Structure 1
Amino acid sequence: MPSIHDFATWEPVLRLLSPGSASGPATADGRVAGRIDRHGWSLPLRRPRPRPGQAAQVEDMQAEFDAVRRVQRALAGSGADTVSFSAEFLPDGRAVVHLLGSSPAVEPGVGSAHPGSLVLVEDAVPAPWRRLPDPVPGALPAPTADPELLERTLRERLPDAIGATEAEIAQAEARLGVALPEELKALYRVTRAKWEDWADDHGAPARHAEAVGCELFALDELYISDVASRPCPWRFAATEAAVTPPDAAVQRLAGSPGWIVFGDNGGGDRIAVDLTPGPRGRLGQVVMIGHEDNLGAELLAHSVTDMILEREAEEPHDGRAGEGRADEPSPVAHVNIRSLPSVAAAAHPALEVLCVGVWEGEPVSLAPVVGLPRLRTLTAYPGTLADPLEIARLTGLEYLELGPGEWRVLLDADAVPRGLSAVGIVVHGNPDPLPIVELANEILALWDRPLISRTVLEGRLGPVA
């Protein structure tokens, strides 16, 4: 098993990236950076173009596959999931490689060698992921909820299905810690959806999915879609707002103790019974939790009976995009060349997230948002802030994302807000990650968090062409 800290492990990758290689990137300073994970990689390689009318062939990339696989084997042997690196190719044929280790306080970067968000408080999660569902005391099941009709219909569609016993249903309730709604019990009394019950009947799963309207989970696969089951990196989660409009059928949450997942739509989206509906929802309604959405769910049916009978639900809001109604100020504000024209236009008492993006005018002041009671997230594109030290006046921030220059100003002035739970460093393009890692470690040290390790390897590849 190759070692991740052996230059020979990296030599095939380095030869592909070297300036003398046909696949090496064109760099002015002889430096390259990349990342290799156990199941993927991001390398700045120039790959050969396929012939006109022909798809890329495996043999065209075989050298890349073999080189990466060697590093991946070393990763598996070390127990690590990913490794980032920065390499410098010297004129005398030597290569110097800086391996950047992982840290439990640093989330993986997205598609680059640069670190992701730095988690300054152990196990901290953004505010939307701490949000619990609001009580809806008057919520009632839909009038269409009819467990007897549901059960009768499914027995006609699935006459040979094996149903769950009352003991099996009780066991599932005990495991989940919640009583299953009557409609869900009626469904599983008809079929317990166990693969072993279908033996060699390969068409049974498709018939069940058609009869029920989704890929039904077995009883022992039911789970609660709480916030822990829907993780999200800080850089994305911190810019969300768990605000449910007053006319929404589904609460805009990352997860809920009342979302009982019982199926899948075949594309990775989960189907659940909702016991914590929105202000305009129904107790026991059916929702779809999208795998590409961070918050909320889509209303599918007012009841499980409606889903079985293919009655579509119609509601004005479903809780996925609920950042407030059109006639209300949004808790998430984007100030950039295409959205809001100024920070003052974004300021209002309910503002939670301010994102300052690409800006063509003069750098902006943060004075209009100083003192706002709910502002918890600020992200600013490099060079957009007139005075980064104004950030010290935003005392309620839990997430801050800035460019290296702005971070340097705060660090030099000892003005980094100490109430932060996580931070991010924004970089342009794909610069050398080493200075970014040094900056990240400087921030982590303020909270006494584990630093990103660095290991230097050096070897000779031969003269550079």
Structure 2
Amino acid sequence: MTTGLQAAARRLALGLRAGAGHSGPAVVWMRIDGGATQITHPVGVDVDLEPDFFDARSALTELLPVPTGGRPLVVELVVRDTGFELACSTALESVTGVVLDDDFRLPAHPLPGMPLPAASKPTGAPTDPAALAEVSALFREFVERYQEIKGRPPALGPGYSEQEIAAAEAELGARLPEDLRALYRMTRDDASETGLLGRYSPYPLDDVVEYHQPGSLGWNDGPFDDAVVFESDPPDTIKRLSRNDWWITFATDFAMNDLAVDLDPAAQGRSGQVFEYGRDVHGPPDYYAESVTEILTGVVEALREGDYEDEDPDEDYLQIHAGFGGAGFDERVYHDFGSRDLAEVVESADDAQRMYLNDAVTLDLAALAPLANLRELRINRAKLVTPALGDQPALESLAIEADRIDLAALAHQPTIWDLKLAGAAEPLDIAVLRTLPALTRLDLSDADVEDITPVAELPDLRVLTLNAAQWNALREADLRPPNLAAASRAGTGSLRDTADWCEWLTGNPIPLTTVSGSTS
């Protein structure tokens, strides 16, 4: 008897087989988290998936167990010439990994629940009269100059009442900056993109409230993500965090970039400062302006000076060159590094926060000492690396792929919490890892290790990625790292293999839902 789940799985299998374009097994892994699906082809052969596959996936997920507690739905589908096997679980983080502590966060990745600065507590008081007067004068001048250019007023509707703003703040749990309140007294939004905030347009307050959910506005907060948080420019203005409860998004460019007001600034910042984030902002949030008032002032001054473009008078859009943002993020990538002198490279990279050194011959990392802002270093395909970093005050993440790694030189490095080692022609002695006081996340899955058991002696290690053989060696010795928050079993093993490994690691059963059938 064919069940609904079996029928849906068979339809998915037929879609995978049609897209594979080859005989023999085809495998797909899916991680379904809310409305997002991450698809991986673990056997190294990409599959050109057809729309029918995604339609079948939607039908399948309606029949599978619903994830609880923020867990994704993890699915493995194997299709052979004559049949298919599907397995799924909601107890894992992926087909290769598991999260053991849902409240764990890597450094600079805070959980929701951060205290609200006292100055931003809702009061119900009306907007500050001085701020209202200044913003309303700028707003009126913008309207007048726009009308002079376009021959009609901007399509900006009436603003919110004080009561409506206070109601939105009650939902947010914070009082908006006075100048942003004043702006919302003038208009509800700028859906027509008139240029009121330059290339950005304020959201309606309903959207501001909706987008400000607990845990929102966070980047790479998972235990296996690229999680180094970089410093914004100017330094110490925006807190170096992946998220903050009191960063409130209020404007958009309708192209996946947004502006947020910062109610919880760093020591050199000010409450109400504005930063930019989104698709075109690489690295940390990009400091944009000290206030909403400064943006409005810049827009009006650009109109006074004729610094704008009106490419289509029939359209509402007015391109105004107000000159905010764009400080950028200093990342250095050196391809074919060869035998270059690392010290000479360092002389021109003093502000670099992330650096990639590719295909180097010999690297003594002591030469990096002058790079006081370097937080992440990736070395790929080197011949010999000596990681004698000394007192590198900012370095948090180090990845080394090399034929030879003089690992002893890494001893007692005080700030690295994220380490990945790969390659090495001879097995590595990892005993030195015991001397790294900040080590929180470790990946040895692509390294030949002389003895893996020292990883079970690292009480502060929270995230560990090993390959199947390395995990098996720990299992045979009955050694489990004591305080893991997340673990991953790298490679192309099956979901059943991962569930078995996870049951050993945690001592808890991992339920799997399975179904199989014929594709003929």
- TM-score grouping bracket, smaller chain normalisation: 0.7 to 0.9
Aligned CA-pair RMSD? 4.1
Q: Is 2:447 the counterpart of 1:383?
A: yes
1:249 matched to 2:271: no
Question: 1:25 is matched with which residue: 19, 22, 27?
Answer: 22
Is the contact made by 2:9 and 2:86 (CA closer than 8 Å) also made in structure 1? no
Name the CA distance, whole Å, in 1 between partners of 2:478 and 2:207. Answer: 51
Q: Could you tell me how far apart the structure 2 residues matched to 1:444 and 1:270 are?
A: 43
Q: Distance in 1 between matches of 2:250 and 2:508?
A: 40
Shift of 1:437: 3.5
Report the equivalent of 1:83: 75
- What is the rounded CA distance, in whole Å, between the counterparts of 2:452 and 2:483 in structure 1? 17
Residue 416 of structure 1: CA displacement? Answer: 1.7
Please list every run of 5 or more consecutive structure 2 residues that lacks an aligned counterpart in the other structure: 67-72, 119-129, 144-152, 299-321, 332-350, 355-371, 375-391
Out of 413-422 and 362-371, give the one that drifted further.
362-371
CA contact (8 A) 1:248 1:281 kept: yes
Contact 1:271 1:286 in 2 (8 A): yes
Q: Assess, with a 3 A threshold, how the Cα gap between structure 1 residues 408 and 442 changes in structure 2: closer, same or farther.
A: same
Q: Deviations over 1:282-339 (max 9, x none)?
A: 3321111335889741101122122221353687989998676146340112222399
Correspondences of 1:60-459 after superposition (within 5 Å) = 64-66=50-52, 68-78=54-64, 83-89=75-81, 94-95=82-83, 97-103=84-90, 105-108=91-94, 115-130=95-110, 148-158=133-143, 161-193=157-189, 205-211=191-197, 213-223=199-209, 224=212, 227-230=215-218, 232=220, 234-237=222-225, 239-241=227-229, 247-290=235-278, 296-308=284-296, 309=298, 310=322, 312=324, 325-326=373-374, 328-337=393-402, 342=407, 344-345=409-410, 347-357=412-422, 359-427=423-491, 431=492, 433-434=493-494, 437-449=496-508, 451-459=510-518
One-letter code of the match for 2:272?
A: G
Change (3 A) 1:378 1:146: same
- Answer whether contact 2:16 2:53 (CA < 8 A) is retained: no
Q: Which residue of 1 aligns with 2:359?
A: none
| More strand by percentage | 2
Instruction: Tell me if structure 2 keeps the 8 A contact 1:378–1:401.
Output: yes
Q: Which runs of 5+ in 1 are unaligned?
A: 48-60, 109-114, 138-144, 194-203
Contact 1:4–1:75 (8 Å) recurs in 2: no
The residue type equivalent to 1:85 in the other structure is: L
Give, in whole Å, the separation in 1 of the partners of 2:203 and 2:394: 41
CA contact (8 A) 1:337 1:360 kept: yes
Report the TM-score when normalising by structure 2.
Answer: 0.66
Aligned-pair CA distance for 1:146: 6.2
Query: How high is the TM-score relative to the length of structure 1?
Result: 0.73
Sort the Cα spacing of 1:154 and 1:234 in 2 relative to 1 into closer, same or farther, 3 A.
same
Greater mean alpha carbon deviation, residues 38-47 or residues 218-227: 38-47
- Quote the residue 1:200 is aligned against: none
**CA deviations over 1:26-73 (Å, ceiling 9, x no partner):** 5xxx432114668766675766xxxxxxxxxxxxx8xx4335534532
Deviation at 1:78, TM superposition (A): 4.0
Letter of the 1:254 counterpart: S
Higher relative contact order (CA 8 A, sep 6+): 1
Answer yes or no: is the 8 Å Cα contact 1:118–1:422 preserved in 2.
Answer: yes
**Whole-angstrom CA distance in 2 between matches of 1:411 and 1:190:** 66
Deviates more, 1:149-158 or 1:292-301: 292-301
- Confirm or deny: 8 A CA contact 1:306 1:312 kept in the other structure: no
Deviations 1:142-163 (A, max 9, x none): xxx9664333212333465301
The alpha-carbon distance between structure 1 residues 250 and 289, as it changes in their structure 2 partners (threshold 3 A), is same
Aligned length: 404
Identity of aligned residues (%): 23
CA contact (8 A) 2:116 2:174 kept: no
